[in-house]
Amino acid sequence: MASPTIDPVTFEALQETAGADFTGELVDTFLEEAPVMMAELRDALAAGNADTFRRAAHSLKSNSLTFGALTLGAMARDLELGGLDSVRAANAKPLDALANEYAQVAAALSELRNG
Amino acid sequence: MDESRNGAARLLVVDDNKVNRLLLTRSLELQGHRVSTAENGRVALEMLHKEAFDLMLLDMEMPEMDGFQVLEQLFNDPQMRDLPVIVTSSLEGVDSVVRCIALGAADYLSKPVNPVLLKARIGASLEKKRLQDQLKEMVRRFATPEVAQDLQQSGFSLGGKRVYATVMFSDIRDFTPLVESQTPEETIDLLNTYYTLMFDAINSHGGVVNQMIGDGLMAIFGAPLPLADHEASAVNAALEMIELVEMFNMERAAADKPQIRIGVGIASGEMVAGYAGTSKRATYTCIGDTVNLAARLETHTKVAKQAILVDGATRNKLSDQIAVVALGAIEIKGKANAVDVYSITVK
């Protein structure tokens, strides 16, 4: 069985320590920032800027793990470690897969935020 | 520093990622701290130059100036190298963590940061900083700015080390009858002037006064900072002390007050130097035979009726400019063999 989009234990622990309202605001910030990071990944790939690529992947990894988005976090980690070349070799497919997973994470977080 | 006694501190959170900044700030504010944020290393350094912080939480991967560059800058800045830094990052690989610690980071927390660990690590780092601040304050009071700076750069350590240096003891002759013949205010006034003059003479020759007891003092030349010609520096300081006391006596004579005289004992050799005391109260001091000998020589100035007495190790390093009279071997309490003692001629 595939792991859940959002690990409930991690998300509940976050709500408990930071407060439910604050966690809601934090989710909003992530939903604003994450698309920027995804765009950065694509731009950096096009421009061949390895540092920016690694940094954007690193940030996305770090934020994903904060909310318990473990699959998205693992994908971002692969991008951070693999770097530009591995993505280019795979014809940018990892970025498409990342975008798909992010869409699910965003939907799940929005639901958790309102629920 | 009432705030830090309650456990609250001024913290700087440095992270380029907004979610991380918000979350860390929230966790720290819930723990009662006051928090400022910076979005990269360059902004963080600007803030550190403007404001005082008790501790910094530093991310590594950042644009413009990353965490490694910030650590390097702090490491090379004597004003800021004592600021505790806890690295909060999700760096890949042990090498990066090792590099942070080697660059002086106090601790490393991987992200996402566990709030319980965060609290414990911050508490430990702030406690360490408090102890260090106390030591710094102690050194500031007892050492010259150069020595204080050197100690700051080399790091404070309560452990001792062996050094080759020169020790001086000095006190006022027949001070007790003098105290009984004047008012308490006059005595304190006399001591304050006396100490000001003695500190001036000792510091200007590179020595450090590390103890004052009543009318006596102990000074070290050549530790904790190395000093070329520490033997001659100590003797020249002693000669200047005698000269300053003579000038002081002229003032006192004009005010119809009794004269004071001092005796100085100097010895050179190996000794153990370091901070001794408890975590609440510690002092930089030297211990060993050489120190005892200097103290005995000072006591012996009364018997020999000389102002400055030195041992052979000190005498051998003096140039011909300084006139010395050999007094021969003298029995010294605590020493199995008689010790060669020399008197420095005061012009």
B283-312 average pLDDT score: 90
| pLDDT interval class at B224 (50, 70, 90) | confident
Q: Is A28 on the interface with B (CB under 8 A)?
A: no
Q: Is B20 on the interface with A (CB under 8 A)?
A: yes
Query: Could you tell me what percent of chain A has a pLDDT over 90?
Result: 88
Nearest to A18 among B17, B23, B90 (CB): B23
Q: Is A16 on the interface with B (CB under 8 A)?
A: no
Distance of residue B85 Cα from the nearest chain A Cα, in angstroms: 20
- pTM of the complete model: 0.58
Residues of chain B positioned with their CB less than 8 A from the CB of A10: 112
Gap between the Cα atoms of B166 and B294, Å rounded: 9
Q: Is A35 on the interface with B (CB under 8 A)?
A: no
**Is pLDDT above 90 for B136?**
no
Whole-number pLDDT of residue B335:
76
Whole-number pLDDT of residue B280:
52
Residues of chain B positioned with their CB less than 8 A from the CB of A63: 17, 19-20
Q: Is A80 on the interface with B (CB under 8 A)?
A: yes
- How does the average pLDDT of chain B come out, rounded? 86
Distance of residue B71 Cα from the nearest chain A Cα, in angstroms: 19
Query: Could you tell me what percent of chain B has a pLDDT over 90?
Result: 48
Of B271, B194, B192, B265, which Cα lies nearest the Cα of B234? B265
- HEC sequence for chain B: CHHHHCCCCEEEEECCCHHHHHHHHHHHHHCCCEEEEECCHHHHHHHHHHCCCCEEEECCCCCCCCHHHHHHHHHCCCCCCCCCEEEEECCCCHHHHHHHHHCCCCEEEECCCCHHHHHHHHHHHHHHHHHHHHHHHHHHHHCCHHHHHHHHHHCCCCCCEEEEEEEEEEEECCHHHHHHHCCHHHHHHHHHHHHHHHHHHHHHCCEEEEEEECCEEEEEECCCCCCCCHHHHHHHHHHHHHHHHHHHHHHHHHCCCCCCCEEEEEEEEEEEEEEEECCCCEEEEEECHHHHHHHHHHHHHHHHCCCEEEEHHHHCCCCCCCCEEEEEEECCCCCCCCEEEEEECCC
More confident residue, B120 or B154: B120
- How does the average pLDDT of chain A come out, rounded? 93
Distance of residue A60 Cα from the nearest chain B Cα, in angstroms: 9
pLDDT tens per residue across span A14-46: 999 899 999 999 999 999 999 999 999 999 999
| Lowest model confidence (mean pLDDT) among B4-8, B135-139, B337-341 | B4-8
**8 Å CB contact of B111 and A65:** yes
A43-50 average pLDDT score: 95
Whole-number pLDDT of residue A68:
95
Whole-number pLDDT of residue B139:
64
Amino acid at B329: A
